Amino acid sequence: MTLLKTLQSLLTKVGAVLQSPVLLIVRLYWGWHFIGTGWGKLHNLKTVTEYFGSLGIPAPHLNAIMAASTECLGGALLLLGLFSRFAALALIGVMCVAYGTAEIDTVKVIFSNPDKFLGADPFLFLYASVLVFAFGPGRVALDTFLFREKKG
């Protein structure tokens, strides 16, 4: 039993060491991709507006601007690790709307065909946002420096 306890302790320490680098990689990679998708939407607003309209999204032009801006700004904030949880929450909202509109068929079969849900375009964006929201930005982030607890 002591061997298992020692191994468990070692794995816990390794996991703790890896947490910040993994969160940094997730933030940088997905922050950059959010910026790219948002930028693409902003530069093709007419097409995105028409697509949103075809999905039955109300005020499609306004919602296209809001979704694209949220992806750009939220992605930039993730990249910097600044206001990370706020940005992640906003991005989670955008990805949930994407699932509820453009990917509604995948949501309907989440239990009978989970691969369809997991393979949908919003999934990894949503997953990355949930990771940052749940675990924070990691140590290498502006949030860490700005919101550091002062020890008294």
Q: Are 35 and 79 in contact (CB under 8 A)?
A: yes
Question: Where are the domains positioned within the chain?
Answer: 23-146
What is the average per-residue pLDDT within 54-59?
96
For residue 145, the one-letter residue type is F
- Please give the model's pTM, rounded to 2 decimal places: 0.91
pLDDT, tens digit, 9 for 90 and up, residues 85-116: 999 999 999 999 999 999 999 999 999 999 99
So what's the pLDDT on residue 148? 82
Across all residues in the chain, what is the average pLDDT?
95
Measure the CA–CA gap between 116 and 125, rounded to whole angstroms. Answer: 15
Do 72 and 80 meet the contact criterion of CB atoms below 8 Å apart? no
Residue 1 has a pLDDT of 76
Taking residue 9's Cβ as centre, other Cβ atoms within 10 Å add up to 10
- Which position has the token pair 């002062």? 150
The more confidently predicted of residues 145 and 95 is 95
- pLDDT of the residue at 147: 86
Which residue in this structure is represented by tokens 């994407």? 98
- Output b/e per residue, 49-78; b: 16+ Cβ within 10 A: bebbeeeebeebeebbbebbebbbbbbbbb
Question: What pLDDT is stored for residue 9 in this prediction?
Answer: 93
Q: What is the mean pLDDT of residues 128-144?
A: 95
